[in-house]
């Protein structure tokens, strides 16, 4: 059987089909005839593009704002250093770096992340690294200098008057570099006890090597009671601490230090003094947005307590500065 003949190009396949009476009628496309019916009177393509871009910008801005406020702050805490003991073996023969639990818990009480910042050694024989303290200052939002060993008199160009007051020169150098990196990065710094003294020394100030020896008329500022030992403080006129605690005339703080600020460093002002002997108890480095030192230990004060000054407002001010400067 021969194949059926195929229609040639252009040849009709059959008579045209008549449209069904019940078939839906095609609605003419009116998009090219003018703006949509829901458009505003007088709308143009340019005004519509402007509103679309403005809407997208508001959405991005709101999203950024939500993410910015939700991101948890990252606060660095300087390390205490345990140096090897001569003749020891095991753990005591190693360099150890640690932080006191109470300082970490105090900072974390405002729902922020705490990171201990170790010393760095770019020339290490076993494990050299290119990481520097500047990297920590760049990626963390603020710095807390915790308490611990004495600041070495060598760090403020003096000789120790007694061997036991030689301090920790190695830790001084580490924390001084750390402090200056955070200040240069525009990040806030809060110093506690030794940290307060170090801030003063960092800007050219000096210390009393021993309050009882250098200021015999002063109160006892260190005692075997440790954090249970306390005294009153006063805020001088213009003190930012005075503004934080406007209704507290002479609050009580703990006292656990035998060294104290002597001559103020450049740009450093007094924020609080002990009563009635006038020993410096808090300082602030004025050229920076927030660099403050507290001679007492706020982490040992109970939040909401009435016997000792509740230092939560100081922590909040520090963390607000961290959030504002982290960009």
Q: Which residues are catalytic?
A: 193, 297, 299
Q: Tokens standing for 276?
A: 């009635």
Cα–chain center distance at 135: 14
How, if at all, do strands 207-208 and 96-98 pair?
unpaired
Angle at 296 between CA 135 and CA 209, to 5 degrees: 85
Question: How far is Cα 327 from Cα 323, in angstroms, rounded to an integer?
Answer: 8
How, if at all, do strands 252-254 and 268-275 pair?
unpaired
Torsion sign across C-alpha atoms 54, 57, 63, 64: negative
Q: How many helices (H) and strands (E) does the chain have?
A: 8, 13
Q: List the one residue out of 297, 288, 289 whose CA is nearest residue 194.
A: 297
Residues in the chain: 327
CB 273 within 8 A of CB 213: no
Per DSSP, the residues of 118-161 read ----TT-SSS-----HHHHHHHSSEEEE---SPPPGGGGT---S
Question: How far is Cα 141 from Cα 83, in angstroms, rounded to an integer?
Answer: 29
Q: Tokens standing for 270?
A: 């007094």
Facing residues of 143 across strands? 76, 189
């Amino acid at each position: 059987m021969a194949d059926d003949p195929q229609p040639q190009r252009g040849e009709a396949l059959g008579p045209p089909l008549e449209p069904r009476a019940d078939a839906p009628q095609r609605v003419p496309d009116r998009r090219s005839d003018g703006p949509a019916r829901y458009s505003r009177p007088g709308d143009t393509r340019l005004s519509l593009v402007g509103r679309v871009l403005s809407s997208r910008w508001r959405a991005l801005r709101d999203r950024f704002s939500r993410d910015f406020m939700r991101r948890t702050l990252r606060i660095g805490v300087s390390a205490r250093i345990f140096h090897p003991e001569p003749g020891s073996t095991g753990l005591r023969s190693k360099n150890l770096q640690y932080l006191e639990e109470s300082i970490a818990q105090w900072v974390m009480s405002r729902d922020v992340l705490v990171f201990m910042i170790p010393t760095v050694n770019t020339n290490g024989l076993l494990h050299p690294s290119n990481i520097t303290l500047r990297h920590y200052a760049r990626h963390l939002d603020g710095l807390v200098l915790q308490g611990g060993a004495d600041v070495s008199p060598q760090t403020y160009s003096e000789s120790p008057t007694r061997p036991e007051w030689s301090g920790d020169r190695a830790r001084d150098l580490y924390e001084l570099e750390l402090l200056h990196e955070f200040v240069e990065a525009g990040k806030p710094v809060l110093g506690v006890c030794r940290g307060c003294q170090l801030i003063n020394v960092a800007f050219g100030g000096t210390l009393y090597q021993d309050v009882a020896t250098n200021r015999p008329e002063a109160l006892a500022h260190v005692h075997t009671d440790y954090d249970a030992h306390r005294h009153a403080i006063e805020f001088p006129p213009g003190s930012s601490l005075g503004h934080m605690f406007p209704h507290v005339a002479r609050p009580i703080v703990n006292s656990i230090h035998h060294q104290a600020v002597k001559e103020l460093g450049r740009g450093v002002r007094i924020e609080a003094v002990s009563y009635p002997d006038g020993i410096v108890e808090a300082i602030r480095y004025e050229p920076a947005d927030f660099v403050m030192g507290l001679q007492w230990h706020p982490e040992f004060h109970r939040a909401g307590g009435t016997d000792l000054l509740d230092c939560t407002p100081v922590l909040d001010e520090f963390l607000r500065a961290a959030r504002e400067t982290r960009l």
